[in-house]
Amino acid sequence: MAPVETPGAHELLSAARDLIRVDDERTAGLWPRAAALLARQAIEMSMDRLWQRRAPGLGATSGRCQLLCLGEFLHDGELAGRVSATWAGLSRACHVRVYELAPTAVELDIWLGCAWELADAVARECRDG
């Protein structure tokens, strides 16, 4: 039997986009948080890939520390700032609180775009470096 390949960040983000775009009664009420979780995992996967390539020990530090270092390693502080804000929004969206609404499709689309941009930047950085 052939080994199962682990999906990459882009594949997770594509799956999250599919959840947003498909109108399916079976996922009603579930898709916003599921899409948020996939997007957050994609960001974390992208950072893990970057750290494995550029700074292996950084992956063992806190998420906050990793996000603070991201701009330096990507040579793009603006993207790193947006990724940090996106990760925070996605983290809030992943935790179900009865007094908070799930993220909207528009919010998720913006966050997914940022996560996709990070995955592209990491792919370039790992390829070029």
4 has pLDDT over 70: no
pLDDT digits (tens, 9 = 90+) for 89-101: 999 998 877 777 8
16-41: b (≥16 Cβ within 10 Å) or e: bbebbeeeeeeeeeebbbbbbbbbbb
Distance of alpha carbon 61 from alpha carbon 50, whole angstroms = 14
27 has pLDDT over 70: no
Mean per-residue pLDDT for 73-82? 96
Distance of alpha carbon 99 from alpha carbon 67, whole angstroms = 28
Main-chain dihedrals φ then ψ at residue 3, nearest 5 degrees: -65, 145
> What average pLDDT does the structure give for the chain?
89
